[in-house]
Amino acid sequence: EVQLQQSGAELGKPGTSVKLSCKVSGYNIRNTYMHWVNQRPGKGLEWIGRIDPANGNTIYAEKFKSKATLTADTSSNTAYMQLSQLKSDDTAIYFCAMGVYYVMDAWGQGASVTVSS
Amino acid sequence: DIVMTQSPTSMSISVGDRVTMNCKASQNVGSNVDWYQQKTGQSPKLLIYKASNRYTGVPDRFTGSGSGTDFTFTISNMQAEDLAVYYCMQSNSFTFGSGTKLEIK
């Protein structure tokens, strides 16, 4: 069974950074793309970007190009997303997702990021 | 960016109803539209991929259709466990619709 286990809730101060992790079991992340999606409180889903863990290539949605940095460690089968220069608007649930049989058919449980001084 | 305009925003429905929602893409996306279900407090779940293909284990009351710019998602016989928000997503460059929330009448 494929499982994506995300790191826990984060509380960050404005202007700082946080790094979220997404550890995959049951599937080699070299064989897929890892996506990140956010959901602000009471709002819809928003695609942030994706990484090809096999070579580190990344694609970002335009609005997240200076906000998010995606990396992956194939030795630990884990994907990461760092969010920089945190603002209150970054308060959201962040999901990792990947394709097993299709593009985004396996999702993590989500990680809450709260930005507050 | 490709914009996915999803309608309606919400629907009040009864168990057993037929439910239809739509997504319109701002440009041709071929058949590259997927539909997700998100229940309160849960991660999204893939129901339909490439416009009309039911994902593994998804009940056949869920169907999708469309191509190009206009897409439709239907629940043929609404069940109580189908209460959720449904999102379309174009998988050419990954943008989601704004969601359709299903509520009990």
* Residue range B71-105, pLDDT digits in tens: 999 999 999 999 999 999 999 999 999 999 999 88
* Residues facing A22 on adjacent strands: A6, A79
Across the interface, of A44, A50, A62, the residue whose CB is closest to B1 is A62
Check B95 against A47: CB less than 8 A apart: yes
Q: Do A44 and B1 touch (CB under 8 A)?
A: no
Q: Does A42 touch chain B (CB under 8 A)?
A: no
Query: Is residue B59 reached through a cis peptide bond, with omega within 30 degrees of 0 on the bond before it?
Result: no
Nearest-CA neighbor of A72 among A108, A101, A29, A113? A29
Structure confidence by residue, pLDDT tens digits, A15-74? 999 999 999 999 999 999 999 999 999 999 999 999 999 999 999 999 999 999 999 999
